[in-house]
Structure 1
Amino acid sequence: MKTLTFYFSLLSPWVYMAGPRLHELAAETGTRIVYRPIDLLRVFRETGGAPLAGLHPSRRAYRAVERRRWARYLDMPIKEQPRHHPVDETRAACAVLAAERAGLAVWPLAQAILAGVWVRDLDISDAGTLACIADEAGYPGRALVAEGGTAPCRDLFEAHTQEALAQGVFGVPSFVIDGELFFGQDRLDFVRRALVAD
C-alpha cells in the first residue's frame, strides 16, 4: 500500500475541487492518505507567493475564469467571490486536527468546511459557524472547536506548516508520494501514475 501525504488549506477552492477526486483515487488504488492541514497564507508569505487580493488584476481575473471552468467541468457549485475569504483558517484547521486526534474521519469534515466557504458563503473563522458546519456533517461540533483551541492541536498545525515548508510546498493542494511533490488539483493524473507505478 502506498502512502500519499496531502497538504491542504481550508481556504482553497482548488482543494475543495480536488478532495472528492483524490479520495476516489485513493480508494481505487488502495492508497493511505496522511492529512496535513497547513497555514496557506503563511506558506505564501514564506515562499514568495501572494494571496488572491495581492495578485495583479489580470491574474485574479484568470483565476476566476479557471474556477468557473473547473467547477462546470466537475459539476461542483462554487461562489464567484465568497464574502468571508480569506479569513484566519487556524480555528477550522485545528478543529479538523481535533477530529483526527479523536479517531474521526478527517475528510468529510474538511470537505464540509471547504463547502462552507465556497458554496455556503460562511465565515469558518467564527467558532459558532464552524461548530454548526461540523454538527451538520455529523461531528460533535462544539467539542471539536473547543479541543481545536488547545495547545496540542495548535502545535500540530504549526508542525504541519513547518513540515510543508521543509518539503518544498508553496501552494495547495500539494501531494507527496515517495518523496516526490505534486502541486495542483490539475495534477491528479500524475498523482495516479505515481500511485500505480511499481
Structure 2
Amino acid sequence: MTRVQSKARIEHYYWIISDWAYLGSKRLNALAAKYRLEVDHYPVRLLDVYAKTGGIPLPDRSIERQTYRFEEMRRWRDRLNMPLVLEPTGFPPNDELASCLVYAHKSRGGDVGELSAGIMAALWAESRDISDPAVLSDICREHELDGDALLDLARDRSIIAELDQKTADAIGKGVFGSPFYIYRGHRFWGQDRLDFLEELAAKDG
C-alpha cells in the first residue's frame, strides 16, 4: 500500500499585540495560500516566553533600542505599504482576551488567520483598544462572526488553558520572540524571515 505523505504545515507562534506579527500577517496568509499550506496560528503570552528565554520587554530596553525600533517600523511600513500607527493609544493593551478569542474561533473550525490579522490590524492600523470586549465584538462582526458567542467561549477556562499550554509548547520548541514560524523543523524568527520560509516552501513544491 502506498503511503500518502501529509502536507507540511506552518506553525505560527506570535503575540497578538506584536507590531512585527502584524506586519507579517498578510504575507504569511498569502504565502500559505500560494503554496497550499495550512497555518496553525498560536497566540502566546510573550512575556512568559521572554521570562524563560532571556527576552527583554520593550519598556525595559535601552532608549537606543526603543528609538531604533521606531526607525525599523517606519522602514517596514513603507516597504510593505501597510498602515501602521507607531504608538497606538493605550499601548500595550492586555492581550489575554484577544488571544483567547483566536483560540475560541479555532475550536469552532473558523478561519483563524483572517480573524487574527483583523485583530492586529485593529490595533496597529486603527489604534483601537483590543483589550476592550466591545471592540473585539465589533471586529468579529466585521468578519461576519458572532462576537458575543465567541467572547463567551474565549473566557472559558479550557480556552485560557490552551493559551497557557501553547505558550509552554512554544518555549519547548525553541521560540523566543514574535512572530516565530516553524516549517518542517526549520525555525524563522521575525517577519523579515518570511522570504527564507517561502524559498523552502517553493523547493517543496
Q: Same fold (TM over 0.5)?
A: yes
Question: Which residue, out of 161, 167, 190, partners 1:161?
Answer: 167
Tell me, yes or no, if structure 1 residue 101 matches structure 2 residue 107.
yes
Instruction: Give the distance between the partners of 2:34 and 2:133, measured in 1 at CA.
Output: 36
Report the CA distance between 1:46 and its aligned residue: 2.0
Partner of 1:80: 86
Question: Which residue, out of 121, 129, 135, partners 1:129?
Answer: 135
The 5-angstrom pairing of residues 164-175 of structure 1 reads 164-175=170-181
Instruction: Give the distance between the partners of 2:94 and 2:187, measured in 1 at CA.
Output: 26
Partner of 1:141: 147
Report the CA distance between 1:16 and its aligned residue: 0.7
TM-score, structure 2 length as denominator?
A: 0.92
- AA partner of residue 96 (structure 1): V
SS in 2 for 1:128: helix
Aligned-pair Cα RMSD in Å: 1.2
Q: What residue ranges of structure 2 are gaps of 5+ in the alignment?
A: 1-6
- AA partner of residue 131 (structure 1): S
Report the CA distance between 1:83 and its aligned residue: 1.8
Tell me, yes or no, if structure 1 residue 47 matches structure 2 residue 61.
no
Report the CA distance between 1:137 and its aligned residue: 2.2
* 1:141-182 alpha-carbon deviations (Å, 9 max, x no partner): 111111000011111111110000001101011111122211
Bigger Rg, which one: 2
* 1:32-61 alpha-carbon deviations (Å, 9 max, x no partner): 111111111221222111222111111011
Q: Check conservation: 1:47, 1:170, Cα contact below 8 A.
A: yes
Partner of 1:111: 117
Tell me, yes or no, if structure 1 residue 69 matches structure 2 residue 82.
no
Instruction: Give the distance between the partners of 2:60 and 2:152, measured in 1 at CA.
Output: 33
Partner of 2:22: 16
- AA partner of residue 19 (structure 2): P
User: Structure 1 vs Structure 2: percent identity of aligned residues?
Assistant: 34
Partner of 1:27: 33
Instruction: Give the distance between the partners of 1:77 and 1:175, measured in 2 at CA.
Output: 23
Any runs of at least 4 consecutive aligned residues in structure 1 with deviations exceeding 6 A, and if so which?
Answer: none
- AA partner of residue 159 (structure 2): C
SS in 1 for 2:118: helix
Report the CA distance between 1:197 and its aligned residue: 2.8
Q: Check conservation: 1:2, 1:195, Cα contact below 8 A.
A: no
Question: Which residue, out of 187, 192, 195, partners 2:193?
Answer: 187
Report the CA distance between 1:82 and its aligned residue: 0.9
Instruction: Give the distance between the partners of 2:86 and 2:131, measured in 1 at CA.
Output: 20
Instruction: Give the distance between the partners of 1:117 and 1:46, measured in 2 at CA.
Output: 27
Question: Which residue, out of 145, 163, 177, partners 2:183?
Answer: 177
- AA partner of residue 48 (structure 1): G
